[in-house]
Chain A
Amino acid sequence: MNNYDDPRLTAYLLDELPEEERREFERLLEEDPQLRAELDSLRAASESLDLHLSRELLSSDWEIGDQRREEILQSLSGDQDAAPQSGGRDRSLRFSILTRSREGLALAACLILAFGLYLTLPSQYGNGSKLMDLVTGDTSSSHRTIVALPVPSEPGPPGGSRSKTIGQTAEELGASQTASSVSVLTPPLEKRVQAGESTKSNASSRDLKAAEVDAVAAKTVGGASSPQTGTRRVDQSGRSSEPAVGDEDAQRRFAQLERSEASARDLSRGQLLDNNVEKVQAEQKKDAHDRSRQLSENRQELPINGRNVVSFAYLNSRGEVVPPPASPTPVPLPRPNPYLPDSRSTQPRPVDREGYDHIQENDFQRAAESPLSTFSIDVDTASYSNVRRFLQQGQRPPRDAVRIEELINYFRYNYPQPLEAHPFSVNTDLIVCPWQPQHYLLRVGLQGLEVDASQRPPANLVFLIDTSGSMSSPDKLPLLQQAFRMLAGELRPQDQIAIVTYAGSAGLVLPSTPGTAREQIEAAIGNLRSGGSTNGAGGIRLAYQTARQHFIEGGINRVLLATDGDFNVGVSSQGELVELIEQERQSGVFLTVLGFGSGNLQDSKMEQLADHGNGHYAYIDSLREARKTLVEGAGGALMTIAKDVKIQVEFNPLEVGAYRLIGYENRRLQAEDFNDDRKDAGEIGAGHSVTALYEIIPAGLEGDVPAVDSLRYQQPTVPSAVAASGELATVKLRYKRPQESHSLLLEQTVAAFPLQWRSGDPETLMAASAAIFGMLLRQSAYSGQATPQLAEQLALAGMAFDPGGHRAEYLSMLRSSRQLLLPRK
């Protein structure tokens, strides 16, 4: 006889039972229909509760407001004791006074009265200014309107009703009339769908939801026809404490629009077209950014203006509710099938002579057996632009062309600038894994110090240009010439530039010349002609020799190698080339490898050269890409701020059952390499960000990860006292300053406290999106419940930060290549 009042029922329902108990409990459920009935009735209760509480999320006013924000930031600058200028509306001060002086109750009472005078101010100010925004559409009006608003004549009691202020009336107006109602209704839908699984109500509640979606969308269209709506939205998310800077502001608006369009489209079922709205949107878009042009083909099907939502209903493109990714029963851990032939034999190579190294995806490792994960950072981005080239041609890239870490690191991330003595900041975040809800996703993000272009030390650059016969097609030498012209345009008088070419023999086309000699440089670039075979090694030697001769102490010394990688004369074996590069890097000259063209792109060769030559590898398929790599980073591609950067993560076996590093397959290091300063590792440039993701199986769920037998001659290790501290992992970093040979250590811990992914840092979500993109392209066995749609949702969440518009471009690429991303049958 079972106990029908068993807390395990609830724990099972909420997915809180440890694995063994869950299996045991499922067996009980199978046997006992009454227990199942009990479970179902509790589930119904749980759904109602969920529905109710998600309704509570609906307020549009979940912000502390600008004034409070200002006060917080003032306290950051150290003057928190200063009296608030707005007239003492800091009630936190009031409470602290009271709790400190227990005997001073009389004083307290006086203070309460006195402060009560100001209690009605904040909401009026905050909302009042929103009203003004709504009316004027002026993004910078909030400060001025504060002054213009009347001061209330009647003081309110401290805890009393203050519901009928002008501000709230304004808020009602705003909330009911604007598109915010879209987001307002979204969370319950989503939550509900998530909660409802196999119950009877499922099908009917779907109908209901579809109907609601229509209702919401209709309402939205009505509200959004006010032209100010869009402006207000944008303004709210922007910070009014800071004047909007043209370019970035425009980008932000564009991102917002993009986001709102997408959520609107998801919600709209494509039926609701409102000319008025469309016109407004089109205007805003035009105003927002030129870069939106590539997305303009979508404009016709984006009828309504939604709100910048980060929560999403699970609706597919036709507006039907689709089952949520969350699954109540844990999915057995997928493992790569060793019997599956690798991609070389299963996939036709799209282009015959392109060379890619095979990538064996990282497996899950048990934290108890191998608690250390060590790898070298990688700022290469080539794989992303190479993959993009394939997708734009409507082809799936070869699996081995997809290096997930390069897809992730293609984007700039909005990590804080380093505060301390170190040249980069380390930022960790832990969320519930979007594609595998049982797992966590740990993000480790590095942000290199931004160096202003004017602060850049003098540069000694040597362009090493492949002018062999294979370089003649328009996407190679001509594009390369344009790219280098662009870079040469950024040079200053103190910079030096030389050009070395190599075909059958290597030659110095332009001896080291000051950056001001524009005409001379221009002529040398213009006169490049292709022909003959490729003697890569000869060119590399000559280029490094030239760089050494003009070496600038404390400056930027770098060889930029532009090639399709097809070396076929002289030293051409990969091993020998790598050795040559390793010798040359001793001189302190860094390397940038720029890959060009298609057809015989020797991807693996170029990546290796960059890795071994203290360098960085980018693939240039367009002028836009050239700009991103050579110009946009404000010297990031040129100026190294730290070298031999290694990351070692120690996982706490009490929290982590198993972990898997996503990508970085060819960057893994031995644990002992971490402290070995002779071991080469990746460089980080000024302003570069580097992101690594770990998928983590919480302790207790790692049952399916292969384990070794227990040892006969050794005792198993015992967790230390710190292991019970609730820490998930310790992240350690070693790096060297560019001219030094001793490494420095950075260390920090991560709490085992995952947030739901929808609450996660947008930057983590963006990285997760890129990871899903890569896993789908690689047809990874670990992609779990990942879908192209999930990648889009995550990318949308990350659209708020998009300098250069690269995320917007990524999103539009995701959308247009959905079919290619679906698993092959």
Chain B
Amino acid sequence: MRKKPPLSRKPDTQWIEEAIDRFQGRLIRYAWRLLGDPEEARDVVQHVFCKLCREDPARLNGHLAPWLYTVCRNRALDVLRFEQRFHDGKRPLDQRPGHEPSPLRRLEVREELSQIENLLEKLPRHKREVVLLKYDHGFSYRQISQITGLSESNVGFILHTVLKEVRGKLASPPSSQTQQLGRIQ
């Protein structure tokens, strides 16, 4: 006798679990960037999903992504505000996720990346956030404006300024470096 394929989870937890599966990585990344600390980022994301549990899935259906990003952002900012009251507000950004890139890649990108890293660290929070939402999450000006509450033209202006700063930091265009390495290869 053939068995009917079982439902993987109880229906009432399924939507939460699916939301976690789909969004945890992105939200942690976002919160991590804002807070500079992975554990705190996970705390924030846990809070976001706890809050999601209290929402009506039918009402959020079709609005889940913007809701999650907005709640995540608000929560992260609360945490930041809280910490700035008790600590000096400075935290090292070097706790970001790391791994070992291939030697070749390290060689290629080390110099310019450390410069960019420096630059990003020095950016005010709201600028860093806009950069992240654009480059890491691929959102449009419009979506960034929805999440952050900045106007679209403001978003565009911020990105433009940051690009100019990045350009200033790059001693030589990355293409020439890449080319050289390509030739060695």
State the Cβ distance, B69 to closest chain A Cβ, in Å. Answer: 9
**A80 near B50: Cβ-Cβ < 8 Å:** yes
Pair B20/A64 contact, Cβ less than 8 Å? yes
Chain B residues with CB below 8 A from A248, complex form? 5-6, 8
Q: Does A276 contact B (CB under 8 A)?
A: no
Q: Among residues 20 to 79 in chain A, which have CB atoms less than 8 Å away from a CB atom of chain B?
A: 41-42, 44-65, 68-69, 71-73, 75-76
Cβ contact within 8 Å between B65 and A68:
no
Q: Which residues of B contact A750 (CB under 8 A)?
A: 62-63
Closest A residue to B24 by beta carbon equals A64
CB distance from B65 to the nearest CB of A (A): 5
Q: In the bound complex, do residue B179 and residue A204 qualify as a contact, i.e. CB atoms below 8 Å apart?
A: yes
Contact with A along B43-65 (1 / 0, CB 8 A): 11111011011100110011101
> How distant is B38 from chain A, measured CB to nearest CB, in Å?
7
Residue from B37, B38, B138, B141 with most neighbouring chain A CB atoms (10 Å)? B138
Residues of A within 8 A of B178 (CB): 201, 204-205, 208
Interface majority SS (helix, strand, loop, mixed), chain A: helix
A45 touches B163 (CB 8 A): yes
Assess the A242–B157 pair: CB atoms within 8 A.
no
Contact B166 A45 (CB under 8 A): yes
Considering the chains assembled together, what is the distance between the CA atoms of A808 and B20 in angstroms? 25
**Is B98 engaged at the interface, CB distance under 8 Å to the other chain?**
yes
Say how far B137's CB is from chain A's closest CB, in angstroms. 8
Give CA–CA (A418, B39) in the complex, Å.
35
C-alpha gap A664/B113 in the complex (Å) = 50
8 Å CB contact of A175 from B24, B91, B99, B116: B99
Q: Which residues does chain B contribute within 8 Å of A9, judged by CB atoms?
A: 160
Q: In B8-39, which residues have CB < 8 Å from any A CB?
A: 8-9, 11-18, 20, 22, 24-26, 28-29, 33, 37-39
A53 adjacent to B5 (CB under 8 Å): no
Contact B140 A16 (CB under 8 A): yes
Chain A, interface size category, equals 35 or more
Q: Mark B138-179, 1 if CB is under 8 A from A, else 0.
A: 101111001000000100110110111011001001111011
**In the complex, chain B residues whose CB is within 8 Å of the CB of A804:** 5
Q: Say if the beta carbon of A347 comes within 8 Å of chain B.
A: no
Residues of B within 8 A of A46 (CB): 163, 166
Asked if A748 contacts B58 (CB within 8 A), the reply is yes
Does A14 touch B at the CB level, under 8 Å?
A: yes
Contact in complex: B99, A59 (CB < 8 Å): yes
Q: Are A68 and B39 in contact (CB under 8 A)?
A: no
Min CB distance A478 to B, Å, is: 22
Q: Name the segment of A223-231, A277-285, A574-582, A751-759 touching the other chain.
A: A751-759
- Distance of A189 Cα from B46 Cα, bound (Å): 31
Cα A52 to Cα B116 with chains together (Å): 7
Let me know if A428 and B62 touch, CB within 8 A.
Answer: yes
Q: Is B42 an interface residue (CB 8 A)?
A: yes
Interface residues of A in 408-457 (CB under 8 A from B): 414, 416-420, 426-430, 432, 450, 452-453
Considering the complex, which residues of chain A in the window 581-610 have a beta carbon less than 8 Å from any beta carbon of chain B? Answer: none
Q: Does A123 contact B (CB under 8 A)?
A: yes
- Asked if A631 lies at the interface with its beta carbon under 8 angstroms from chain B, I say yes
A450/B7 in contact, CB under 8 A: yes
Stretch at the interface among A91-99, A377-385, A703-711, A715-723: A91-99
Q: Is the CB of A416 within 8 A of B160?
A: no
B134 interfacial contact with A, CB 8 Å: yes
A427 CA to B57 CA, complexed, in Å: 10
Across the interface, do B97 and A61 meet the contact criterion of CB distance under 8 Å? yes
CA of A157 to CA of B157, assembled, Å: 40
State whether B50 touches A10 (Cβ < 8 A): no
Given known contacts A11-B141, A159-B83, A185 and B102 CB-to-CB distance under 8 angstroms: yes
CA of A58 to CA of B183 in the docked complex: distance in angstroms? Answer: 27
Residues of B within 8 A of A712 (CB): none
Q: Given A62-B25, A216-B102, are A426 and B61 neighbors across the interface (CB < 8 Å)?
A: yes
27 A/B residue pairs, CB under 8 Å, sorted by A: A13-B163, A45-B163, A48-B112, A51-B109, A52-B109, A58-B101, A61-B38, A61-B97, A68-B42, A75-B53, A76-B13, A92-B46, A92-B50, A95-B47, A98-B82, A185-B101, A199-B175, A200-B175, A242-B9, A414-B8, A417-B14, A427-B61, A634-B4, A751-B62, A751-B63, A753-B63, A756-B138
- Ranked 8 nearest A-B pairs via Cβ: A59-B97, A201-B175, A204-B182, A62-B25, A750-B62, A417-B11, A92-B47, A10-B160
Q: Which residues of B contact A (CB under 8 A)?
A: 2-9, 11-18, 20, 22, 24-26, 28-29, 33, 37-40, 42-47, 49-50, 52-54, 57-58, 61-63, 65-66, 78-79, 82-83, 87, 91, 95-102, 104-105, 108-109, 112-113, 116-117, 120, 131-132, 134-138, 140-143, 146, 153, 156-157, 159-160, 162-164, 166-167, 170, 173-176, 178-179, 181-183, 185
Given contacts A62-B28, A201-B176, A750-B62, 16 further A-B contacts (CB under 8 A): A44-B170, A45-B167, A48-B166, A52-B117, A54-B135, A55-B113, A71-B50, A72-B52, A73-B53, A95-B43, A199-B175, A201-B178, A204-B178, A239-B8, A450-B7, A751-B66
